[in-house]
Structure 1
Amino acid sequence: MKKQHIWRVWIAAGTVLAVSTVGSLMAYFTDTQEKVNHFTVGKIQIALQEPEWEKKADQDKNNIPDEAEHMIPLQTITKDPKVQNTGINDAYIFLTVEIPCRELITVNADGMKNPPGMTPLYSYEQDASWKHLGSCKALDEKGKQTGVKHLYAYAEASGKCRIVKPKETTLPLFHSVTFANVLEGQGLEEQEFTIDIQAYGIQTANLNGGTSDAMEIWQILSNQKEIPEHYQK
């Protein structure tokens, strides 16, 4: 059983404007002075990183760490998504994590079977530096559920976003993932599954009257990027 590491970075920049103005001051009959005011354009740029995952051995060069190939039930592997602010302006950071799901029979620790149900193939423990804002179903083109997608803000428990300054990096959202305790023979063998992680950054200044509320800021970002998902607690 395989798990492939695939991630994409979406950068959502809020409105950062620069203006150049030229003003003239003239003394009649004697001289002319010109004063030029210079302004620079800000930049929101982020980098999604997984340093512990990325340094794992991959002897067959298939972009899947050897440790993540042929996973077995309850196997845990290090995976540590974090986001660095590589721009020049302060940023608020959000992550979405899509976990594949299948209709499966799982097994309890005592070996007893559970009834079939929609089961996430991987689980993880969220770091306290992030706040879970909601979840939604991931559907294929036919409307069939293929996963569950979670939204997180780099924020305090109260929902107040943490400012990530240029060159700073967030703490990891989680540090490892564990494969579900599924019963064998359900068609998972030799398949590849992905955990899709997307990172978003937005400026901290001039957002809806200076708000730092994670849900309000996500709504601004979501509207600007026309993100279709609607996350619910």
Structure 2
Amino acid sequence: MTNNRKKIAGLLTIGLLLLVGIAGTFAYLTDKTAPKVNTFTVGKVGITLTEPKWDAATNHKIIPGAVLEKDPTITVTANSETAYVFAELAFTDSLAKYESAVTINYSSDWTLLKTDGNKKIYVYKTTVPTKSTDTVLAPVFGQLTFANTLTAASLEELKTAQLTVTGYAIQASGFADATAAWSEVSK
């Protein structure tokens, strides 16, 4: 019995030595690359809306034939991704009533994308590319001119009229056109 045990122990020892030798050979024949770290940054789109010529402290009166300087200007902030830029003009009263009383001189740099109820949506003529500095776009419009034909009754109807301008921007990447981009940004 001891002979059998010695034989088994010897065979196990030889087997282990072979296993270690084979594993050592495999380790010798393998290789490993150095890790590559992929760092991702987050893109951004930033805008501001100002009205450089509009004095909010002034009491702006609606008078037949009056011209009011109003210049809503959207600025795309530095290092923003290439973007579609939109301006939404929301009128408190019916759009038809407002348009019959006021002429707005829209900039040719902005294109009417759609009219939705009492809102008009304008899109900037091109996508705005990424730049290391702020990009100041042309004002959406420059002035409001009130009709000479306004009467006391029509002025009374415009007493509560307000025009609210809101700027929007969304990355251009991933959208076929401005209409598709507006559908996403206006959700």
TM norm structure 1? 0.56
Aligned to 1:129: 109
Please report how far the alpha carbon of residue 64 of structure 1 lies from its aligned counterpart in structure 2 after TM superposition: 4.0
SS in 1 for 2:161: strand
For 1:162, the aligned partner's letter is T
Q: What SS does structure 2 have at the residue aligned with 1:36? A: coil
Greater C-alpha radius of gyration: 2
CA-based RMSD: 3.0
Distance in 1 of aligned mates of 2:174 and 2:35: 31
Range 44-53 or range 81-90, more displaced:
81-90
1:171 paired residue number: 138
Q: Deviations over 1:119-147 (max 9, x none)?
A: 43432111111111121323xxxxxxxxx
Gaps of 5+ in 2: 1-27
Aligned residues: 155
Which structure has more strand as a fraction of its residues? 1
AA aligned to 1:85 is V
Which residue in the other structure is 2:181 paired with? 217
- Distance in 2, matches of 1:31 and 1:119, equals 72
SS at 1:162 equivalent: coil
Residue in structure 1 matching 2:77, options 86, 89, 100? 86
Q: How does 1:24-39 map to 2 (within 5 A)?
A: 33-39=34-40
Residue 28 of structure 1, CA deviation: 8.0
What's the counterpart of residue 118 of structure 1?
97
Q: Distance in 2 between matches of 1:38 and 1:102?
A: 52
Work out which of the residue numbers 41, 58, 63 in structure 2 matches 1:65.
58
**Normalised TM-score (structure 2):** 0.69
Alpha-carbon distance change, 150 to 189 in structure 1, aligned in 2, over 3 angstroms: closer
User: Where does the alignment leave 5 or more consecutive residues of structure 1 unmatched?
Assistant: 1-26, 57-62, 104-116, 139-148, 156-160, 227-233
CA gap 1:186/1:92 in 2 versus in 1, 3 angstroms: closer
Question: For 2:43 and 2:158, how far apart are their aligned partners in 1?
Answer: 47
Structure 2 CA distance for partners of 1:30 and 1:187, relative to 1, 3 Å: closer
Amino acid at match of 1:92: Y
Q: Tell me by how many angstroms 1:206 deviates.
A: 2.5
